[in-house]
A and B are shown apart, each in its own frame.
Chain A
Amino acid sequence: MIRARGLVKVFGPVRAVDGLTFEVEPGEIYGLLGPNGAGKTTAMRLLSALLRPTSGSAVVAGFAVDAEPREVRARIGILTEVPGLYTRLTPAEYLDFFAQVQGLRDASARAARVEEMLRLVGLWDRRRSVMRTFSKGMQQRVAIARTLVQDPQVLLFDEPTAALDPEAARSVRDYVRELAAHRGRTVLLCTHNLVEAEQLCQRLSIVQAGRQVAEGTPAALKASVATICVLSVRASSPLLLKRLEGVADIQAITLDGPGTITYRTHVPARANPEVVRAAVAAGADVLGLAEAANGLEEFYLSVVANSPRPPGAAG
């Protein structure tokens, strides 16, 4: 598990991480979402005991990152933003090296694990090729295999599927899901990919300028943002717009076409019948009323847009 309490990291004048607090239970996939420079990568480095917190605390797999960093590192697998491979090695040599560094001493067990990982990421047939010749996506797959090679209790993923083709991305997502659901692994996922976050994460935090600006399940976060509704009429008129502006509980009314009006509401069940009544009263022929899919993206953008983003924030 991961437990972060008021985690702070300061680099000179920059507070890269500013009071991050969250918990991730075994078997859970937790997402850290945020724009570039929000502090996600710094948070990962703190949790992997690569950096020491300026203040606050974090416990990973039962060990404090500042007091027992070696124990933490022995129990985590981290996928960094850039694959960072030794490209003059073959993937088999590379994974074998990391397996040994992580403490897997038995050569036959190591060989079996390397084979399992290379088959997982679809590179078993290329196990003897030097990685310099690999595409970006193939290198990312090797990096994923490296993260998993010692079967860590806690997995820290920074954009795991960013460079993968859709098929490979899906297989990685499925594997991550399987690791958490069936093998009880704790997964922290840093991503810009909101669809992926929504698909994989049970809970997530949105960070901006090092601060946590929202936390919850994807469903709860989505529910807290206004639903976008689209009203279709045969022909709109200034009178119709004026009438709609008078309807309670709706905001941001815009005319998006000759007969298309969009608005936002937190209470569609109450507001939408009122909208239809107002449109009919204004003499409009109502063709339809639909609620747009209320995605995590809407919530994310609304939160990030409303949060301050000081210059020089860390990554």
Chain B
Amino acid sequence: MLDRHEAHDDRNLGQDLPQRDAATLADRPLADREVPLPGMAAANEPALVIHQWLDGETSEAEARRADAKQVDLWKMISSETEQRRRMTTPSYLAANIMAAIPDARTEATMATATATSTGTMVESRSALPMTMVLMLGAGLFAIGIVIGKML
């Protein structure tokens, strides 16, 4: 059985061509070569047991009986992968992301500004709360009275 899930990978382009360049094939990454896995597994029983152990399907003792050296190698690799499993996102990253996403109010203002031209000014002024307009008017009226009395 050939590995078909790699068909979309650029590295596998041209693998079905009848004339394959041996030198090019030799340069390709080891893991990228087509290998009939079931046949290999049958011929390499210890490797299968190691996979089963790594997948949690059999005990370490069983795996050691099959290939102790491989168990030691994978325990070492596992110690490193487990170390990586504890890595966390740098603390500043969440703040950076939040700073980079637009504020809803800013976004709305920007959208209004770009959507219209001069009419926008009038529109946004008329959108001011009525109480604020009244207070502003009253304030200006009071200032006018004070200035009038001073003159």
Are A and B part of the same complex?
A: no
Chain B residues in the interface with A (C-beta under 8 A): none
